[in-house]
Amino acid sequence: MSTLETKDSPPVTMTPKLYIQTNGCQMNDYDSDKMRDVLHASHGFELVDDPKQADVLLLNTCSIREKAQEKVFSALGKWRIIKTKRPNVIIGVGGCVASQEGADLQKRAPFVDIVFGPQTLHRLPQLLDQVRLQQKPVVDISFPEIEKFDALPEPRAEGVKAFVSVMEGCSKYCSFCVVPYTRGEEISRPVNDVIAEIRALAKQGVREVNLLGQNVNAYRGALADGDIAEFSLLLHCVAAIEGIDRIRFTTSHPVEFTDSLIEAFAEIPKLVNHLHLPVQSGSNRILKMMKRGHQREDYIETIRKLRLVRPDICLSSDFIIGFPGETDAEFEETMDFINDIGFDLSFSFIYSPRPGTPAADLVDDIAPEIKKQRLERFQQRINEMTAAISHSMIDTVQTVLVEGQAKKNPLQMQGRTENNRVVNFIGHPRLAGHFVDVYIAEALPNSLRGRLISTADSLINTDSTAPTQQYA
Ligand code: SAH
Ligand code: F3S
């Protein structure tokens, strides 16, 4: 028997094994955790790192750009070999490609047993039983309103940070984007459901939450009395939860960045001094073609107001380079724009036509080399600005949420600043899960190095035997 055959032989233990590959955004990471949780609660599945050891293989897909979509069939190609050797293995495909392709996906990959969408992942246990019973594939890519969240088990915290989905979908229909088609229209979870989930996480030691949604500031969640809360009110409710001391959100849209949200930044110190606000382009004509619903000046005005209440706020954004018809001059407008605003680490991609979106019908006559050159120049400038922000943090004291031991040096602890910089410093493992003050001594390309100067929360006061001080 060859080594490969040994590795591929069926798992010997009774605990069913699950392998999940996640492509795409933070929303997909969140959804994959939920897939793990539902299958653990229903069938006792445990996650494994090796697809060859799993009984069920799930691929959580992304279709935002062509490259992301291509990954689906290369992963499935590998899994087909596993299934040929172990025909009882169940293969499921979820996420945005599944939502878009539905039953067509099985035509191209007939060995796929389950196709499920982002809104039906909570039905995985039933879909799995159905496949096993009927011995034929199933497809469920419907959009059953908010049912998904009602059907999910209690959240399981892993570490000091957690994502919490507050709304799903998008109703903006930017001309280039597939999200409204794959994830459906905007729908918000009721306030009490979000609060209950965060309270449960806080009890398990979570100190920082990242409120997730395609457009979190389009949040319109029902209150217990039937009134509707907007996002700023939700932020106030989350800030009142004991144990949660840091709040982030991803992602917001410039059009709904209301004055009440700016006031929230003034009134809620737990809201981090960091904002990711996608803008896509600095050219008004391109913004219009993208159907973004605002102009460059509106974005500048929002940032001006925000900086009145948070002068040092760090800003990051998403950009699409080489949208159909983008001229040299329009690209330069984007370059001027980033220089004027000053952005931290941001995401930028060359435009990728997505089938079924209005922009896919536009004439795109910019040569690929030109797009590549623009992207390189753009990213170089963003990288310079990112490095400048890191350097400006040298000789300052930052509040760091300690996540655990540094990977490369067990004597060091690792945490993050409000603007999401990784900081390594010598410290006791007991600091994990606590906020500490760290003096920043050095800025490296991907992290900062610092010295612990004090704990910002009550760690030392509550236990005088804590050996924290000797590491200062
Ligand atoms: N509101 C969501 C947007 C999700 S898409 C959010 O801000 O997270 C994430 C980013 O992918 C977008 O902001 C955009 O910059 C990029 N993107 C979306 N469609 C794209 C396309 N067709 N080509 C290139 N980039 C795209
Ligand atoms: Fe996509 Fe625009 Fe919505 S980028 S997710 S359609 S705001």
Q: Among candidates 146, 151, 252, 164, which has minimal Cα distance to 206?
A: 164
CA distances from 160 to 163, 223, 243, 270, 435 (A): 11, 28, 11, 15, 11
User: What is the model's pLDDT at position 469?
Assistant: 37
Ligand 2: does its nearest atom lie under 6 Å from the Cβ of 294? no
Ligand 2: does its nearest atom lie under 6 Å from the Cβ of 292? no
Ligand 2: does its nearest atom lie under 6 Å from the Cβ of 173? yes
| Helix boundaries (H) for 214-276 | 231-239, 259-267
Q: How far is the CA of 177 from the centre of ligand 1 (A)?
A: 6
User: What is the model's pLDDT at position 1?
Assistant: 35
User: What is the model's pLDDT at position 69?
Assistant: 82
Q: How far is the CA of 214 from the centre of ligand 2 (A)?
A: 7
Q: Which two tokens stand for residue 446?
A: 């991907």
Q: How far is the CA of 65 from the centre of ligand 2 (A)?
A: 13
User: What is the model's pLDDT at position 13?
Assistant: 55
Ligand 2: which of 96, 173, 250, 323 to mutate, most ligand atoms within 8 Å of CB? 173
Which residue puts its alpha carbon closest to atom 11 of ligand 1?
64
Q: Among candidates 469, 405, 408, 401, which has minimal Cα distance to 444?
A: 408
Q: How far is the CA of 374 from the centre of ligand 1 (A)?
A: 18
Distance CA 235, CA 231 (A): 6
Distance CA 470, CA 373 (A): 51
Ligand 2: does its nearest atom lie under 6 Å from the Cβ of 174? yes
User: What is the model's pLDDT at position 460?
Assistant: 46
Cβ-count burial of 70 within 10 angstroms (0-12 exposed, 13-18 middle, 19+ buried)?
exposed
Q: What is the pTM of this model?
A: 0.90
- Mean pLDDT of successive 10-residue stretches along the chain, which has 472 residues: 43 82 92 94 95 96 89 92 94 94 90 93 94 92 75 82 94 96 92 95 96 96 95 98 97 96 98 98 98 98 98 97 97 98 96 96 95 98 97 97 92 96 95 96 96 72 40 34
For strands 46-47 and 56-61, give the pairing. Answer: unpaired
The answer to whether the beta carbons of residues 257 and 250 sit under 8 Å apart is: no
User: What is the model's pLDDT at position 472?
Assistant: 32
